[in-house]
Amino acid sequence: SDIRENLTYPIFGQAIRELAQTVADDGYEPDIILSIARGGVFVAGGLAYALDCKNIHLVNVEFYTGVGSTLEMPVMLAPVPNAIDFSNKKVLIADDVADTGKTLKLVHDFCLEHVAEVRSAVIYEKSHSLVKCEYVWKRTDEWINFPWSVEPPVVRREGQVLDA
């Protein structure tokens, strides 16, 4: 369908504060926020400030190749985080959306083997997600336009370079 959930940067700012508040109200105090790149990096940065957590890690996962088109399974790309950094830590996984939930499950399972505790925070969760995140700002089943990926990458404009 043509229906889209449109997240803007101003609404994103509000969403992050509200998402962080639900984590705080729940009494969860993560030692580490593990972001799933690239979309989860925005979420992790916002949550880290709002929760006063100074330790952000990052894992790159590749899954989606376009609107609604995916690889067969998500894969962690190198460099994979060093599990030793997570030993006996309370981790909060941060991502933009749990859609099929396969990406979050991959990262969650990776963490489970090493950490003291792991929970997940997402802006959006879709009803068919196989992972149920502890912290969700909004539920939708529409395709979401995120402010960081709604526009194509910038391209170089010839003849626009100023002289030094």
Residues that bind ligand 5GP (CB under 6 A): 36, 39, 63-64, 74, 95-104, 143-144, 146, 149
**Nearest distance from residue 88's CB to ligand 5GP, in Å?**
27
**Nearest distance from residue 48's CB to ligand 5GP, in Å?**
18
Contact of 47 with 75, CB cutoff 8 Å: no
Nearer to ligand 5GP, 74 or 81 (CB): 74
**Nearest distance from residue 58's CB to ligand 5GP, in Å?**
13
**Nearest distance from residue 61's CB to ligand 5GP, in Å?**
8
Nearer to ligand 5GP, 46 or 101 (CB): 101
Nearer to ligand 5GP, 61 or 115 (CB): 61
**Nearest distance from residue 84's CB to ligand 5GP, in Å?**
26
> Residue 56 contacts by C-beta under 8 Å, 6 or more apart in sequence?
32, 33, 34, 35, 44, 45, 48
Nearer to ligand 5GP, 29 or 109 (CB): 109
Nearer to ligand 5GP, 29 or 141 (CB): 141
Query: Which of left, alpha, beta for 29 (phi over 0: left; psi -120 to 50: alpha)?
Result: beta
Phi, psi of 160 (to 5 degrees): -105, 0
Residue 134: CB atoms within 10 A of its CB come to: 15
Contact of 94 with 28, CB cutoff 8 Å: no
Instruction: Find, among 36, 56, 152, 148, the residue nearest to 97 by Cα.
Output: 36
Tokens of 156: 């170089």
